[in-house]
Amino acid sequence: MTIKFNRFEWAGSLGDIGTDLPLLIAMISAAQLDIASTFIIFGLMQIVTGLFYGMPMPMQPLKAMAVIVIGQKIPAPTLYAAGFVIGVMMLLFTLSGALGKIKQWIPHHVVRGVQLGLAFSLLKISLLNYIFTSDTQGIFLAFISGIFYLLAKQKAKFPAAFIFIFAGIIYAIGVKGQNMGFLLTPKISLPVLHGLQLQELWPAFLILALPQFPLSLANSVIATQQTAQDLFPAKGLSLRQIGFTYSIVNLIVPFFSGVPLCHGSGGLAGHYGFGARTGGSVIIYGSFYLLTGLFFAHALGAVLEFFPASLLGMILFFEAIVLISLSRDLMSRRQELGIALMVGATCALLPQGFLLGTMLGVVLSRAKDKNSRVGER
């Protein structure tokens, strides 16, 4: 497929920014990540996948990891180690052919339950850790920005999450006195090399990689392959291809201080829904992050230093609402919705909840199917 850069690709390039940018900013703030490295590597991986697949196949931060990092303020070395560990895990599953078997084991409504678990966790973090811990001025700013966000959502082609970014920049410039000339002056930054620490691998596996892996299998690989098949049937994209790129990316990015990444069905659908049909939209999208990281990381760091916590809370709040809305397709199937809600509650409330929730969902789904077969006899 020929890569294009027409107006449809430019419009489509905004299809995933409402999810990625808020999560990246929140992770940078919580884990004190290197801004230049985070943006440069994230942008480069978008460009690589756009060129490799020739279709709007973006990369996204790993959401379960992001939620845990933001909520528990996990340090950067543990996050980077978790990226490497989950890359190894996915590579083993890809090479062994286990991905095809797992596709048959994890039902759609269990995936929705894991997404609900992410949403419940984000709601708790946004309200208790960010919004309600802010002063009156911060809460008021978040409330007003939230109203403008809802109004902006009515414009289908406008990335409404920019409302919070703009509000934070205005706050940093106007209230905290940041110099506008300093923010607009380019300054070259490069990724920081990072060596993995062996003592970080085991906690990274337990705290971050293990909770993330069920969601990655279900959404980042299986659901993405199905979405690609629905939207681009001629491409013939396989689970194995997606598993390989997922693995290779995460085996590389930790050594350059990049956050762990995955493909995502929502990101693919978002780019497609905004008009993209080739890898051009992802290349454009990645270039935004690449150029920002290379030339304006210092400016972003200055803004984030004074970025209101309440606005970060509102960003996470609306991210949670988006994840909850994905379960609308279960509203007419009460049993499956019930299982999804139980999975979501387990994911959000228990230690290792994402792993336990997925296992619970699979067991309950098998029991439901067995009872259905018995009832048909």
Checking if the pLDDT of 183 tops 70, the result is no
Instruction: Give CA separation, 332 vs 112, 328, 336, 375, in Å.
Output: 14, 9, 9, 20
**What confidence category does residue 317 fall into, taking pLDDT thresholds of 50, 70 and 90?**
confident
Checking if the pLDDT of 180 tops 70, the result is no
Per-residue pLDDT tens digits for 229-263: 888 888 888 899 999 999 999 999 999 999 999 99
If DSSP codes are grouped into helix, strand and coil, which group holds residue 262? strand
pLDDT confidence of residue 106: 81
Given a contact cutoff of 8 angstroms between Cβ atoms, the answer to whether 268 and 58 are in contact is yes
Three-state secondary structure call for residue 61: strand
CA–CA distance, 271 with 165 (Å, rounded to integer): 21
Cα–Cα distance between 213 and 257 in angstroms, integer?
A: 21
> What are the tokens at 260?
């762990």
- Where along the chain do its domains lie? 7-327
Query: For residue 158, is pLDDT > 70?
Result: no
Residue 40 CB neighbour total at 10 angstroms: 26
Highest mean pLDDT among 33-42, 110-119, 233-242, 317-326: 33-42
Q: Which pLDDT value is given to residue 242? A: 94
Spell out the residues 6+ positions from residue 328 whose beta carbon is closer than 8 angstroms to its own: none
What is d(CA 30, CA 61) in angstroms, rounded to the nearest whole number?
14
Residue 146's pLDDT is 82
72-78: average pLDDT: 94
Average pLDDT of the segment spanning 105-117: 83
List Cβ neighbours of 320 (8 Å cut-off, separation of 6 or more). 118, 119, 120, 122, 123, 126
Tell me what pLDDT residue 294 has: 96
Mean pLDDT computed over 131-155: 79
Structural Rg of the chain based on CA atoms: 20
272/292: higher pLDDT: 292
262, 64 Cβ separation under 8 angstroms = no
Residue 151 has pLDDT above 80, yes or no: no
Confidence of residue 200 (pLDDT cuts 50, 70, 90): very high
At 39, the pLDDT band (50, 70, 90 cuts) reads very high
Q: What are the two backbone dihedrals, phi and then psi, of residue 60, each rounded to the nearest 5 degrees?
A: -135, 155
The listed range with the strongest mean pLDDT (150-164, 189-203, 360-374) is 189-203
| Beta carbons within 10 angstroms of residue 212's beta carbon | 27
3-state secondary structure of 15: coil
C-alpha 120 chain-centroid distance: 15
Please give the span between the terminal C-alpha atoms of the chain, in angstroms, as a whole number.
Answer: 50
Confidence class of residue 18 from pLDDT cuts 50, 70 and 90? Answer: low
Residue found by looking up tokens 């997606």 in the block: 242
Counting Cα atoms < 13 Å in the Cβ hemisphere of 59 gives: 33
Contact 318, 64 (CB under 8 A): no
**pLDDT tens for residues 291-315?**
999 998 987 777 776 777 787 788 7
Q: What value does the mean pLDDT of the chain take?
A: 84
Q: What token pair was written down for 337? A: 């919705």
Phi, psi of 332 (to 5 degrees): -90, 0
Q: Where are the beta strands (DSSP E) in the chain?
A: 60-61, 261-262
Q: Which pLDDT belongs to residue 377?
A: 57
Say what the pLDDT of residue 240 is: 92
Whether the pLDDT of residue 35 is over 90: the answer is yes
With the CA atoms of 303, 308, 310 and 312 taken in that order, what torsion angle do they form, in degrees rounded to the nearest 10?
Answer: 20
Whether pTM exceeds 0.85: no
Q: In the structure, what pLDDT confidence band is assigned to residue 122 with cuts at 50, 70 and 90?
A: confident
pLDDT number for residue 370: 77
Asked if residue 372 has pLDDT above 80, the reply is: no
In the chain, the percentage of residues whose pLDDT exceeds 90 is 35
Q: Report, in this order, helix, strand and coil percent for the chain, each rounded to 5.
A: 75, 0, 20
